[in-house]
């Protein structure tokens, strides 16, 4: 059976660089790896073909000869499917490195090392509910955070005072053990030490060998003015304690802001509604409007209509990026639902002056009568 073109095997163009070759090889190696395709001879052959193509195209001399003479130029070049102990898998260079990465993808331990070094603590998350005013002006809150700290009894080592850790006798401190599977040598996390490379003969009684203790801690949090629902605060070093002297994780607080009975926030502006009487809207006057910092008076011009918006400069929210929003007052003209006889008489008189026909028998001309007259009807 004739060999396929190496570029075709890897699915790359002939001008592909090393990065492109490596990316394609990783993708195809995962697909055709024998451990992913057990009892599949076709997958094994494709995997061999793939490795052969990668060895040639990532070697500058072999690739040059292949580009000039094709497969005939490979005679005596010493390539092939060499296994772990040859240059193909376990030797120095990019191929051994990339294959180790693939093993890690499959088994979580291709080139794994003992996990005895320092490890950073996990990040924590919390939700904090605050009022509308607290979000606008900022505040300080005290919250309870359940987290782990280093055990004071053992200093975070996990071993009872006066004792210590010792090398794992199974993996000899590597954190992994190797075994053969078919024609592959596989590395997996050591079952004895769980990848630590060390074991504890006498665990600390306070932390039971973990080196850390869970407890709930009170934490003071400063909320800056201008936050809103969804704002996230990062408190560096307030997360879980690290292991083996590793750094502490961070705490992320997500804010939830409550509703206000009168105000609504739109961006950095504060919006509210205010109703006024019909005479005030028609004649003009002055009204008192509540703001987040007390009441203020604004002038209502004569003839103000429903929907008119008045703006109070810099009475809104201080922006987290700087500056301050405004307060917007939207006016609604109030229609009376109950009137005294005197009020009704005055309204009827106004309606006559305006030419509105309100009830049957009204002698004033309606709007439509005026239109008909204007059109010569």
pLDDT at 92: 35
pLDDT above 80: residue 219 = yes
Q: Is there a contact between 171 and 197 (Cβ–Cβ < 8 Å)?
A: yes
Phi-psi bin for 289: left (phi > 0), alpha (psi -120 to 50), beta?
beta
Kindly tell me the sign of the dihedral angle through the C-alpha atoms of 146, 151, 157, 163. Answer: negative
pLDDT above 80: residue 17 = yes
Distance CA 350, CA 165 (A): 97
What's the 3-state SS for 174-222? CCEEEEEECCEEEEEECCCCCCCCEEECCECCCCCCCCEEEEEEEEEEE
Distance CA 212, CA 150 (A): 4
Distance CA 68, CA 47 (A): 25
Nearest to 248 by CA among 122, 59, 99: 122
Paired residues of 167 in beta bridges: 198
Distant-in-sequence, close-in-space partners of 33: CB < 8 Å, separation ≥ 6: 43, 47, 102, 106
pLDDT at 197: 81
Q: Is there a contact between 322 and 225 (Cβ–Cβ < 8 Å)?
A: no
What is the per-residue pLDDT across 70-127, written as a single tens digit (0 to 9) for each? 877 776 554 444 333 333 333 333 444 454 455 444 544 444 444 556 778 889 999 9
Distance CA 232, CA 225 (A): 13
> Would the CATH topology of 120-160+211-258 be identical to that of 264-334?
yes
Q: Does domain 264-334 have CATH number 3.20.20.70?
A: no
Summary mean pLDDT of the chain: 80
Structure tokens at 134: 């607290």
pLDDT at 134: 96
What is the per-residue pLDDT across 246-297, written as a single tens digit (0 to 9) for each? 788 999 999 999 999 999 999 999 999 999 998 899 999 999 999 999 999 9
Kindly tell me the sign of the dihedral angle through the C-alpha atoms of 234, 235, 238, 244. Answer: positive
pLDDT at 357: 58
Q: What is the mean pLDDT of residues 234-257?
A: 88
Report the predicted TM-score, pTM, of the whole model to 2 decimal places.
0.53
pLDDT at 84: 33
Distance CA 281, CA 293 (A): 26
Q: Domain ranges in the chain? A: 6-107, 120-160+211-258, 264-334, 348-374
Q: What is the Cα 216 distance to its own chain's centre?
A: 26
For the chain, give the percent of residues with pLDDT over 90: 34
Query: 120-160+211-258 falls under which CATH superfamily?
Result: Urease metallochaperone UreE, N-terminal domain (2.60.260.20)
pLDDT above 50: residue 66 = yes
pLDDT above 60: residue 42 = yes
pLDDT above 60: residue 374 = no
What is the per-residue pLDDT across 140-179, written as a single tens digit (0 to 9) for each? 999 998 888 778 778 777 787 778 778 888 888 888 887 6
Of 1.10.287.110, 1.20.1250.20, 3.90.600.10, 1.10.287.1400, the CATH number of 6-107 is: 1.10.287.110
For the chain, give the percent of residues with pLDDT over 70: 80
């Amino acid at each position: 059976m004739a060999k396929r073109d190496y570029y075709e095997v890897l699915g790359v163009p002939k001008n592909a660089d090393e990065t492109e070759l490596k990316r394609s090889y990783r993708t195809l190696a995962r697909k055709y790896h024998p451990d992913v395709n057990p009892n599949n001879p076709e997958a094994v052959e494709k995997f061999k073909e793939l490795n052969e193509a990668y060895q040639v195209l990532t070697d500058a001399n072999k690739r040059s000869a292949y580009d000039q003479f094709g497969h005939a130029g490979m005679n005596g070049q010493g390539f092939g499917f060499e296994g772990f102990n040859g240059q193909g898998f376990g030797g120095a260079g990019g191929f051994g490195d990339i294959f180790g990465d693939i093993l890690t993808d499959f088994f979580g331990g291709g080139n794994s090392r003992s996990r005895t070094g320092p490890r950073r603590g996990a990040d924590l998350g919390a939700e904090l509910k605050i009022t509308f005013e607290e979000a606008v002006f900022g505040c300080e809150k005290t919250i309870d955070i359940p987290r782990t700290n280093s055990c004071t009894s053992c200093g975070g080592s996990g071993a009872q005072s006066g004792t210590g850790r010792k090398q794992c006798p199974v993996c000899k401190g590597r954190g992994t053990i190797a075994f053969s599977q078919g024609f592959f040598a596989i590395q997996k996390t050591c079952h004895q030490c769980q990848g630590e490379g060390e074991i504890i003969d006498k665990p600390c009684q306070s932390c039971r060998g973990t080196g850390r203790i869970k407890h709930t801690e009170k934490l003071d949090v400063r909320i800056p003015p201008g936050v809103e629902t969804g704002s996230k605060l990062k408190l560096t070093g307030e997360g879980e304690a690290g292991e083996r002297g590793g750094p502490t994780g961070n705490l992320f607080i997500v804010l939830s802001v409550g509703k206000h009975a009168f105000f609504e926030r739109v961006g950095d502006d504060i919006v509210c509604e205010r109703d006024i009487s019909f005479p005030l809207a028609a004649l003009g006057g002055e009204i008192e409007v509540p703001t987040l910092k007390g009441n203020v008076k604004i002038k209502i011009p004569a003839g103000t209509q429903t929907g008119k918006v008045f703006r109070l400069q810099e009475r809104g929210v201080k922006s987290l990026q700087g500056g301050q929003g405004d307060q917007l007052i939207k006016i609604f003209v109030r229609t009376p639902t109950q009137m005294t006889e005197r009020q009704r008489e005055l309204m009827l008189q106004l309606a006559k002056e305006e030419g509105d026909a309100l009830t049957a028998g009204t002698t004033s001309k309606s709007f439509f009568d005026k239109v008909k007259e204007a059109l010569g009807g």
